[in-house]
Amino acid sequence: MRLNYTLTPRTRVSAGRRGIVQNTRPVYDVIPGTVVRGALGTAWWSSPTHAYTGPDPRAAFERLFVGGMCVWAAVPTLGQHTAELRGLSWTTCKYPGDSCSRHWHDTAVDVLGRLTPQDRRCPACDGPMRQGRGWALPDLEDGRQWMASVTRTMLEGGEAKDENLFTRQSLVKEVTLHGSISLTDNVPDSAVDWLTTDKDVSLGGQRSTLGRCRWQSEVATDSAPPETNEVVLRLRSPAILLDGYGAPTLDLKGAIERRTGQVRPPTVARVWTRPVVVSGWHGVAGLPKPEEWALDAGSTAAIRDLTSSGIHALMSGLGIRRNEGYGEVDVLTAEQAAAVTGESNSRGEQEPRNYDDPPTSREVLDDNMAKFIRSLLPERRIPVLRGLLTLTRSVQVRAEGGASRSEIESIVTDHWTYSWARDLSGAQRDNVIVMMAAPPAVLSELITKLTRVTGGA
Ligand SMILES: [Zn+2]
């Protein structure tokens, strides 16, 4: 059974909250299923008005929350606009001229059609292309914004602590969030009734004044498996994968082959993946869950030679912790994959620095450094700058040795998984990427400055 749910915020929703979910994605726009599931779990036991009152709460809770329910991510909508999942297989011209297409193109469709994907240079102008990077918020008209900054004061014993003002991004109140829940057949009716009753829930538990939402859900029709033997599979949420021996892996191809259960495995023609570190918050124990490697939302595979039962198995998701919303997938026919790619040239879209651009000048580096430092929480400043110093040193050495842009890029990408860089926002990462694209001499100056600021660690 499938339920569609809507969350209507009564207060602002901020899901990147430190200690609740270490959301390592650059933007905090799509609320992970694990956060929604946590909110439901809290309401089940402790909602003043809508706690579960059916038979045998403990047993019903376990049948629902432990094995019976997958809560998928909550995707924001504002007016006519909805967050867009851009596959890593999507490409578009970076600097479109008159003859260039201004739409995204899914190269996974080319791979299924046995065509050579146009993913390096624009077929019209031969200029650089850019790739989809997972969830993105489309531009809104009239300068409206999806996110607002909330400035909060850290409280200590009820008193505001000076110098501990910090700002957080949160979704604006007008946003609504939409997602779905998959239920197994053995979930008791009383639990389904509870899920489909309107109630208030608190995203992020009761620790926060942010995140109070109206919960509404209704039974939806399960989507029928596409009648085809080749599909584009795209991750809607990070997937935590295990290999055949139960060890962690980032091998999407192997995970798909095993998941289908086919005697003759399907042909995984190509995968587009990006690793990410995920963790969560164990609401009952009040402890963080261990961090795990995952493949990020937007990771994609082009698959041929599927049986209908293989497709059916893939549609229920990939990897472990699916009951928390990890490993949600879209399984699309080639036609569907080709049709869902929207306009790419939205105004004012913040695009990350591309390594095809000219090297960063000293002035641009200084400007980015100033922005970067201002954006850091005071208590994080020194550890982050120490991490940045380590990164700058390795990039400087490699750049001086004539490393290519893509080699530099992979050094920077590796660092996103280090503790200093995991919590950086998309804008902060863009600052770092711009800085690391400076020539070796400018990087040497940065090393000198960072050494002075951090005390030379
Ligand atoms: Zn072009």
- Centre of ligand 1 to C-alpha 184, Å, is 48
- Centre of ligand 1 to C-alpha 126, Å, is 6
- Centre of ligand 1 to C-alpha 263, Å, is 44
- In the prediction, which pLDDT does 14 show? 56
- Centre of ligand 1 to C-alpha 140, Å, is 25
- Centre of ligand 1 to C-alpha 42, Å, is 51
Other beta carbons within 10 angstroms of residue 288's beta carbon come to 14
Residue ranges of E strands in 390-448: none
- In the prediction, which pLDDT does 25 show? 32
pLDDT tens-digit readout, 169-179: 667 778 899 99
3-state SS class at 375? helix
Q: How many Å apart are CA 167 and CA 276, to the nearest integer?
A: 25
Q: How many Å apart are CA 242 and CA 262, to the nearest integer?
A: 18
pLDDT tens-digit readout, 276-333: 887 655 555 555 566 788 999 999 999 999 999 999 999 999 999 888 889 999 999 9
- Centre of ligand 1 to C-alpha 200, Å, is 49
Which class for 209: exposed (0-12), middle (13-18), buried (19 or more C-beta within 10 A)?
exposed
- In the prediction, which pLDDT does 23 show? 32
- Centre of ligand 1 to C-alpha 90, Å, is 14
Q: How many Å apart are CA 197 and CA 178, to the nearest integer?
A: 16
Q: What are 25's two structure tokens?
A: 């994605």
Other beta carbons within 10 angstroms of residue 132's beta carbon come to 25
- In the prediction, which pLDDT does 72 show? 92
CATH T-level assignment (fold) for domain 2-81+162-220: Elongation Factor Tu (Ef-tu); domain 3 (2.40.30)
Which class for 346: exposed (0-12), middle (13-18), buried (19 or more C-beta within 10 A)?
middle
pLDDT under 50 in the chain at which residues? Answer: 16-27, 153-156, 158-167, 205-206, 346-356
Residue ranges of E strands in 257-375: 267-272, 275-278, 281-282, 287-288, 292-295, 300-304, 329-332
Where are the alpha helices (H) located in 50-124, listed in sequence order?
Answer: 57-61, 107-112
- Centre of ligand 1 to C-alpha 337, Å, is 22
- Centre of ligand 1 to C-alpha 270, Å, is 24
- Centre of ligand 1 to C-alpha 108, Å, is 19
- Centre of ligand 1 to C-alpha 97, Å, is 6
- Centre of ligand 1 to C-alpha 252, Å, is 31
Half-sphere exposure of 116 (CA within 13 A, CB side): 3
- Centre of ligand 1 to C-alpha 128, Å, is 7
- In the prediction, which pLDDT does 386 show? 93
- Centre of ligand 1 to C-alpha 117, Å, is 15
- In the prediction, which pLDDT does 111 show? 94
**Beta-bridge partners for 33:** none
- Centre of ligand 1 to C-alpha 275, Å, is 29
HEC sequence for 139-161: CCHHHCCCEEEEEEEEEECCEEE
E strand or H helix that includes residue 232: strand 231-235
- Centre of ligand 1 to C-alpha 113, Å, is 23
- Centre of ligand 1 to C-alpha 123, Å, is 7
- Centre of ligand 1 to C-alpha 119, Å, is 11
- In the prediction, which pLDDT does 183 show? 94
- Centre of ligand 1 to C-alpha 125, Å, is 4
Domain ranges of the chain: 2-81+162-220, 84-141, 231-339, 362-454
- Centre of ligand 1 to C-alpha 120, Å, is 11
- Centre of ligand 1 to C-alpha 6, Å, is 39
Buried b (16+ CB within 10 A) or exposed e, 93-130: bbebeeebeeebbbbbbbbbeeeebeeeebeeeeeebb
- Centre of ligand 1 to C-alpha 359, Å, is 21
In the chain, % helix, strand, coil (3-state, to 5) comes to 30, 25, 40
Query: Which CATH class name applies to 231-339?
Result: mainly beta
Residue 41 · residue 199 · CB < 8 Å: no
